């Protein structure tokens, strides 16, 4: 994601709060915010106090013009920060290269229309938790056939996606090694999953680079010129 944003002209200010990096109080010195994923839960603030800082920043940013994009856990944190709810998926873990189920609301969305209007949008899914209730006023943009939320516009300039647009096989493979024992118990074929991600690499990159370019374009529309991702 950072590679695509830089290629689109963004200057990155990467913060790693899990490693002790501080977060800004607001986005007045930045043009946007990207919140990435993680294996912790959206309510694990007691174990990971920095989660509260991320949610506080998203809540503050939601009142401004700077665009915010949450990815996987980032979506869940943004949803909780703005009054929604997250829980383990009652249908079980979502894992695989799965198509995004766009709603018609996405076709004219300022950020996601560039991918929603493609013939298909395969995406890397790896999650246990999902957003079960959107914040008041949020707009659902994509969902699975079973109804799990895949993408939403949570506030006028706050978006979230449940999939991992940034994840190729080089990212998925270490996740698979880390989760191997648990995956065997669940009957998940991780080797096949990694192969599927590798086989879909060209289409995945072509699809989701569009998302990064669109996000960078929204950032350029605000007065400042820096983008912070964490």
pLDDT for position 225: 47
Active-site hit among 164, 169, 209, 219: 164
Fold assignment, 2-225: Rossmann fold (3.40.50)
> Which residues, at least 6 apart from 133, have a Cβ–Cβ distance to it below 8 Å?
79, 84, 85
Whether 166 is a known active-site residue: answer: yes
Q: What is the mean pLDDT of residues 97-107?
A: 95
pLDDT for position 185: 64
- Rounded to 5 degrees, what are φ and ψ at 22? -80, 160
3-state class of 56 per DSSP?
helix
Model pLDDT for residues 110-151, shown as the tens digit of each residue:
999 999 999 999 999 888 899 999 999 999 999 999 999 999
Q: How confident is the model at residue 167 (pLDDT cuts 50, 70, 90)?
A: confident
Q: What is the mean pLDDT of residues 177-194?
A: 72
pLDDT for position 184: 64
Tokens of 10: 């963004």
Residue 105, pLDDT > 80, answer yes
Pairing status of strand 122-127 against strand 94-99: antiparallel
> In the predicted model, what is the mean pLDDT of the chain?
91
Residues 74, 36 contacting (CB under 8 angstroms): yes
> Judging by beta carbons within 10 Å of its beta carbon (0-12, 13-18, 19+), is residue 136 exposed, middle or buried?
exposed
Model pLDDT for residues 19-68, shown as the tens digit of each residue:
999 999 999 999 999 999 998 999 999 999 999 999 999 999 999 999 99
Residue 12, pLDDT > 50, answer yes
pLDDT for position 197: 83
Q: What is the mean pLDDT of residues 191-219?
A: 91
* DSSP letters for 119-186: S--EEEEEESEEEEEPPTT-EEEEE-TT--EEEEEEETTEEEESS-TT--HHHHHHHHHHTHHHHHHH
CA dist list (Å): 83 to 73, 134, 208? 15, 7, 28
Active-site hit among 30, 66, 148, 166: 166
> Which residues, at least 6 apart from 100, have a Cβ–Cβ distance to it below 8 Å?
115, 116, 121, 122, 123, 142, 150, 151, 163
Q: Where are the domains of the chain?
A: 2-225
Residue 186, pLDDT > 80, answer no
Active-site hit among 30, 66, 72, 219: 72
Q: How confident is the model at residue 182 (pLDDT cuts 50, 70, 90)?
A: low
pLDDT above 90 as % of the chain: 74
Q: Which of residues 161 and 200 earns the better pLDDT score? A: 161
Whether 164 is a known active-site residue: answer: yes
């Amino acid at each position: 994601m950072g590679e695509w944003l830089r290629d689109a002209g963004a200057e990155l200010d990467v913060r790693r709060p899990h490693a002790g990096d501080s977060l800004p109080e607001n986005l007045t010195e930045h043009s946007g915010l990207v919140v990435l994923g993680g294996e912790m839960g959206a309510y694990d603030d007691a174990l990971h106090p920095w989660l509260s800082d991320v949610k506080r920043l998203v809540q503050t940013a939601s009142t401004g013009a700077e665009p915010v994009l949450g990815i996987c856990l980032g979506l869940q944190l943004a949803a909780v920060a703005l009054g929604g709810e997250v829980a383990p998926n009652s249908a079980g873990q979502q894992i695989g290269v799965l198509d995004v189920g766009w709603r018609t609301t996405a076709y004219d969305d300022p950020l996601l229309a560039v991918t929603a209007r493609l013939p298909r949008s395969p995406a890397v899914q790896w999650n246990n938790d999902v957003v079960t209730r959107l914040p008041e006023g949020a707009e659902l943009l994509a969902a699975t056939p079973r109804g799990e939320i895949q993408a939403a516009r949570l506030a006028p300039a706050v978006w979230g996606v449940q999939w991992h647009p940034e994840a190729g096989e080089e990212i998925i493979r270490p996740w698979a090694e880390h989760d191997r024992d648990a995956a065997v118990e669940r009957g998940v074929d991780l080797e096949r999953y990694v192969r599927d991600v590798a086989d879909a690499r060209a289409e995945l990159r072509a699809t989701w680079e569009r998302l990064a370019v669109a996000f960078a374009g929204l950032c350029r529309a605000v007065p400042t010129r820096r983008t912070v991702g964490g």
